Amino acid sequence: MTAKELEIEFRDAVERVNKHTEPFPADFLLRLYAYYKKATNDYGRPNSRKPIINAFKTNALFQVQDISQDEAKQEYIKLVNNYFLYRE
């Protein structure tokens, strides 16, 4: 898969998640969050009003620190595809 194809698939997966109206499981959201942040090189601090949520988000980011940006995109896509595959 080329870099352009990966980017298109990644953006499609993000759009799919954003359009989904039902709540996602918390553990799924944390993995999405971490892969998305890594895939987009967005290393801003978590900004929830609840410190415990920030702690969970920070932990999720630590868990993906050793993968590349492209790997994070691939994992995000895989996670989204699997969720919707088994959800429907």
Residue 45 is predicted with a pLDDT of 77
Q: Does the residue 2 lie in any domain?
A: no
Residue 88 is predicted with a pLDDT of 55
Pull the structure tokens for residue 22. 């039902």
Q: Does the residue 13 lie in any domain?
A: no
pTM of the predicted structure, to 2 decimals? 0.90
Structural domain including 81 reads 25-87
pLDDT in tens, the chain (88 residues): 899 999 999 999 999 999 999 999 999 999 999 999 999 998 777 888 899 988 999 999 999 999 999 999 999 999 999 999 987 5
Q: Does the residue 18 lie in any domain?
A: no
Q: Does the residue 3 lie in any domain?
A: no
Domains contained in the chain, number: 1
Q: Does the residue 48 lie in any domain?
A: yes
Looking up residue 80, the CATH number of its domain turns out to be 1.20.80.10
41: left (phi over 0), alpha (psi -120 to 50) or beta: left
Q: Is 39 helix (H, G, I), strand (E, B) or coil?
A: helix
Q: Does the residue 7 lie in any domain?
A: no
